Chain A
């Protein structure tokens, strides 16, 4: 038997309309306990209205060794950003 409870990643949505954001991790025996622990550890100061938890082992992450292959090619393709348009002043949030 393992000595420690499994690790869980915690995602909190701070208000309606926003997406859940990763806030940290914690240990818990199962999903239900993970939600309760997350409530106690991460939402004590009214940080959120919704919690997701995912067992850390279920997350597939990109490998730090492959950053070159994965992300560098985007660096010299500035034309993928819509920065060449003249925007009217009235248009906000772009």
Chain B
């Protein structure tokens, strides 16, 4: 495989993460616990879609088959998606959504920090713009972790339960495979092995403040990055892709 093809494949991972998480958050539209949080979650969703557009556009260019970001988002099947398992997990209750967001934001932030200095200039410029948005996402989700964890008995219980449910999916974020290592070697992306410690430190610091326990799970789920997904992603895509599948090429 050529380097540009590999970079394209790597960009799909980044773009699919933000696309799938953005779609999950969009499901909250009109269903938020209060108006203010409804808007906050959909704001974050729109930020993520903006990032997706830049990343998939670039991935399409590198692929060179004339596929646009829309083609990549709406016309690929579930096995071709390269997002991590964490972001496709269902929203659950508000605590579930916040825990998923926090676990992803903490990683996303560290990743983007590195990508700002990527040897690939185009990717670096996308990362610089995204980092500002994600700084806010992380602030938002961290604060809610603390509020819920250090809140009432009920909220503490719910957020701890959500954390236990989602923890197994965090390992994939910082465990490199061949493609990750190659991108790291080229200076395009960070060495994920070196991201692991800072990630866990960042997460644990907030969990401490939130009076939450770090789940003691030894088993970590893998697969999303190579196209092996949980059953949830297919359902998400069915909803997201319905219009373009039923009416190909339809525009507003």
Flag if A37 contacts B40 (CB, 8 Å). Answer: yes
Q: How far is the CB of A25 from chain B (nearest CB, A)?
A: 11
Pick the contact of B34 from A27, A36, A39 — CB < 8 Å? A27
Pick the contact of A29 from B35, B39, B136, B147 — CB < 8 Å? B147
Flag if B36 contacts A37 (CB, 8 Å). Answer: yes
B168 on the A face (CB < 8 A): no
Pick the contact of A28 from B36, B39, B43, B139 — CB < 8 Å? B36
Which residue of chain A has its CB nearest to the CB of B140?
A: A36
| A41 partner residues in chain B, CB cutoff 8 A | 35-36, 39
A90 on the B face (CB < 8 A): no
Complex Cα–Cα for A78 and B43 (A): 50
| A28 partner residues in chain B, CB cutoff 8 A | 36
B133 on the A face (CB < 8 A): no
A71 on the B face (CB < 8 A): no
Chain A residues near B (Cβ < 8 Å): 5, 26-29, 32-33, 36-37, 39-41, 44
Known: A27-B35, A40-B40, A41-B39. 6 other contacts (CB 8 A): A27-B36, A29-B147, A33-B147, A37-B40, A40-B36, A40-B43
